[in-house]
Structures are given as structure tokens and as C-alpha cells.
């Protein structure tokens, strides 16, 4: 959930089933408060020719997971292993969205469009559906792959904050239980998952301080059955410089607000949220019960396929660069195309075949 100068870098994603943990690192540099970027022309015809390729330099993540290995090379230091658990292989993967708090129609539409883009093969390359192909490379012990088909199977709006405006990791399960009863969601063990999205005015235990999103599974004692879920918060008014990074930078960097990168849909908080949602979804489908694909020996703190590529959005990432992404004539930054002409900036995920981070906008 980053430019030369004396900086404190947020966004170390450390997981208890993919919690986004934010750490800080300090680096001194004589080029105080300067941002640099490599810029190349994208050689494509028509109006789209006004798009350029850029690789912005942002504060380096010296304590992040990705700093200990080559960003796009060998995985000599990464031991991602399969632990014999299930993946979400049944088609389609049914997502039951729970909108908790006050959500505007445009914000809901933006997130729906991202979710619907996962299965939209009509979007031009590089696309969200091409990005999802990496997630679909993961298999279970029967050889079945994660499904390429994702469907919004149901939605429920809890606009009255039925469990208050401050939630914890346990009360999230109560939110799910209430929504499942009220919306009559089916018990979809085989290919279902819940996606809980909290609005800008809802606080969560450790949100902004240590997490931007996480995933786990429901407890039968609280929900009645076991089913994977993910939670992501809208950080637009609470901590955009942390959870909507790199669309906003911390004030002490001398920028104090929207950063060098403009969000592709003009919504700093929700555009930033989309990448966190992508991170969590990729990890839910490849490790739904925290016993399938992850690195490390501790299942209570697994390093998953999104964690391994935190902060990378394109080729040439690392050393303070997020990687080569695209910028349109309005200055909006993105790396993937989606449904209905939408554009998104979504982090890469770990490719088990390449043993490296990869995405559809790779130029290698």
C-alpha cells in the first residue's frame, strides 16, 4: 500500500494472511526534495500516441520485502512453496461485496469496474485480465488452476454502520455474519469469498498505522462456516500518503497531498484502494485458508504472492523506481486497461513460472 531526499518510507507489507504492514526507513541524499523520472515515447498509433512511458523515482523502500532480491530476476532468495491446501479453482470465483459505511455511486462504480475487468478479455493490452493470468498459474494438489473467471455474485450495503465506525479484525467477522444473513448470501464454500470494503469514515484496528488491507477466513463460531474473505479500507481522508501511495506523499516530504503520480480515475483514495484490492484478491485465490502458496515457515505470518512484489508496477522497478508505467495527456498514471475504457495502476504479483514479479505491461 517513495525519491531522493531525507525521507521516511512507508508501505512495508507484512502479512498475517496478507496484512499490509507499513514500516519506515530513513535515507539521506543530497538531492533534497527533487523527483526524477525516465521518460520514453510509447510508439503506438492514433490518439493513444499521446501516452508516454515513465518510470518515476520515488523514495526507495530499503526495508521492504523486495529490497533483498533482484526485482525482476532470479528467486534465489525467495522460497515460495505449496503447502498442500486448496486454491480457488472452481469457475467462476464468486465475490460477495459488502459495502460498509457511506459509499458514493461513482466510488462503487470504479471498484465494480475493476472487479469486472478481471474477466474482461475485450480490454486492450496491457489489461487487468492479462494481469490476472499470473494469479491463474497457481494450482492445487490435483493440478487445478486458480480460475480466470471472477464474478460479483452479490452485494450488500451496510450504510448504517451496524457494528459501529471503529472495527477490529474480530468485528469484521461480525460484519460478514450480519451481511450474509441480511442479504441471504449463499454458503458458497467451493468458489466464494467475501470482500469487505469500508468507507473513508470507518476506522479499523491498525489501519493506516500498520495495515491497508488483509485477508483471512471466517470462523464457524462467528459466521457459521469457514469461507475466505478480504478487507480493504478507503484511506482518502485518513491516510492517503500511506495507503493510496504513490498517488499521495507524506507532508514532511515537502509535498503534502497528491504526489507526483496522478490517479488514473481522479480519485486518490479509491484509485489507491484498487491496487490494495488487487493485492488481496491475488492472495486470497492462491492462499484462501492460509495453507496453500506462501514463502516462509510461519503460517501466521506468511509472505504471499502480492507481498513479494509490493511497490512494483512495471519493468525496471527497484532502487526507488516503481517501474515503467504509462502516463496519458492529462498526466494520469496507469499500467493496465480495464472494462469500459477504465485505467488502473495495480501492483505486479509473483509469477511461479518466471520466479519473478511480472505484469502485463512488462517490456522484457
Q: Are 344 and 271 in contact (CB under 8 A)?
A: yes
DSSP state of 94: E
Q: Indicate the burial class of 44 (C-beta count within 10 angstroms; 0-12, 13-18, 19 or more).
A: exposed
Q: How confident is the model at residue 324, as a pLDDT? A: 95
Alpha-carbon dihedral 310, 316, 319, 320, rounded to 10 degrees? -70
**pLDDT of the chain along its 364 residues, tens only?**
333 332 333 333 333 344 333 433 333 333 333 333 333 333 343 445 578 888 876 654 322 333 333 333 334 557 899 999 999 999 999 999 999 999 999 999 999 999 999 999 999 999 999 999 999 999 999 999 999 999 999 999 999 999 999 999 999 999 999 999 999 999 998 889 999 999 999 999 999 988 999 999 999 999 999 999 999 999 999 999 889 988 987 766 544 444 469 999 999 999 999 999 999 999 999 999 999 999 988 888 899 999 999 889 999 988 778 899 999 999 999 999 999 999 999 999 999 999 999 999 998 7
E strand or H helix that includes residue 349? strand 349-351
C-alpha cell at 66: 523486495
Distance CA 293, CA 278 (A): 17
Q: Are 324 and 54 in contact (CB under 8 A)?
A: yes
Q: How confident is the model at residue 27, as a pLDDT? A: 34
Q: Are 270 and 130 in contact (CB under 8 A)?
A: no
Instruction: Supply the pTM of this predicted model.
Output: 0.83
Cα–Cα separations (whole angstroms), residue 94 to 12, 88, 112, 154: 30, 10, 13, 8
Distance CA 310, CA 243 (A): 12
Domains of the chain by residue range: 70-358
Cα–Cα separations (whole angstroms), residue 153 to 9, 183, 185, 252, 275: 38, 12, 9, 43, 21
Q: Are 52 and 295 in contact (CB under 8 A)?
A: no
C-alpha cell at 355: 520466479
Q: How confident is the model at residue 118, as a pLDDT? A: 98
Distance CA 341, CA 120 (A): 11
Amino acid at each position: 500500500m517513495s525519491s531522493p531526499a531525507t525521507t521516511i518510507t512507508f508501505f512495508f507489507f507484512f502479512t498475517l494472511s496478507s496484512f499490509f504492514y507499513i514500516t519506515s526507513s530513513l535515507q539521506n541524499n543530497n538531492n533534497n526534495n527533487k523527483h526524477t523520472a525516465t521518460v520514453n515515447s510509447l510508439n503506438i498509433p492514433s490518439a493513444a500516441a499521446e501516452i508516454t512511458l515513465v518510470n518515476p523515482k520515488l523514495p526507495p523502500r530499503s526495508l521492504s520485502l523486495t529490497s533483498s532480491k533482484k526485482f525482476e530476476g532470479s528467486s534465489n532468495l525467495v522460497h515460495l512453496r505449496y503447502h498442500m491446501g486448496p486454491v480457488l479453482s472452481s469457475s467462476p470465483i464468486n465475490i460477495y461485496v459488502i459495502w460498509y459505511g457511506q459509499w458514493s455511486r461513482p466510488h462503487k462504480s470504479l471498484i465494480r469496474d475493476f472487479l469486472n475487468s478481471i474477466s474482461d478479455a475485450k480490454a486492450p493490452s496491457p489489461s487487468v485480465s492479462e494481469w490476472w493470468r499470473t494469479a491463474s498459474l497457481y494450482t492445487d494438489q490435483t493440478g487445478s488452476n486458480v480460475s480466470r473467471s471472477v464474478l460479483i455474485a452479490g452485494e450488500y450495503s451496510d450504510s448504517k454502520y451496524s457494528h459501529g465506525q471503529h472495527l477490529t479484525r474480530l468485528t469484521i467477522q461480525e460484519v460478514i455474519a450480519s451481511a450474509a444473513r441480511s442479504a441471504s448470501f449463499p454458503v458458497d464454500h467451493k468458489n466464494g469469498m467475501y470482500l469487505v470494503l469500508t468507507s473513508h469514515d470507518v476506522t479499523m484496528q491498525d489501519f493506516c498505522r500498520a495495515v491497508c488491507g488483509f485477508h483471512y477466513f471466517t470462523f464457524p463460531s462467528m459466521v457459521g462456516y469457514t469461507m475466505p474473505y478480504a478487507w480493504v479500507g478507503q484511506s482518502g481522508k485518513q491516510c492517503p500518503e500511506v495507503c493510496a501511495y504513490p498517488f499521495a506523499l507524506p507532508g514532511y516530504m515537502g509535498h503534502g497531498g497528491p504526489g507526483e503520480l496522478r490517479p488514473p480515475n481522479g480519485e486518490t483514495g479509491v484509485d489507491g484502494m484498487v491496487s490494495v484490492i488487487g493485492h488481496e484478491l491475488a492472495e486470497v485465490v492462491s492462499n484462501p485458508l492460509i495453507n496453500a502458496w506462501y514463502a516462509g515457515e510461519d503460517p501466521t505470518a506468511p509472505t504471499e504472492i502480492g507481498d513479494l512484489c509490493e511497490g512494483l508496477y512495471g519493468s525496471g522497478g527497484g532502487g526507488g523506481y516503481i517501474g515503467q508505467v504509462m502516463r496519458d495527456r492529462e498526466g494520469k498514471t496507469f499500467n493496465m486497461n480495464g472494462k469500459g475504457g477504465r485505467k488502473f495502476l495495480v501492483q505486479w504479483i509473483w509469477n511461479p513460472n518466471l520466479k519473478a514479479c511480472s505484469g502485463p505491461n512488462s517490456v522484457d
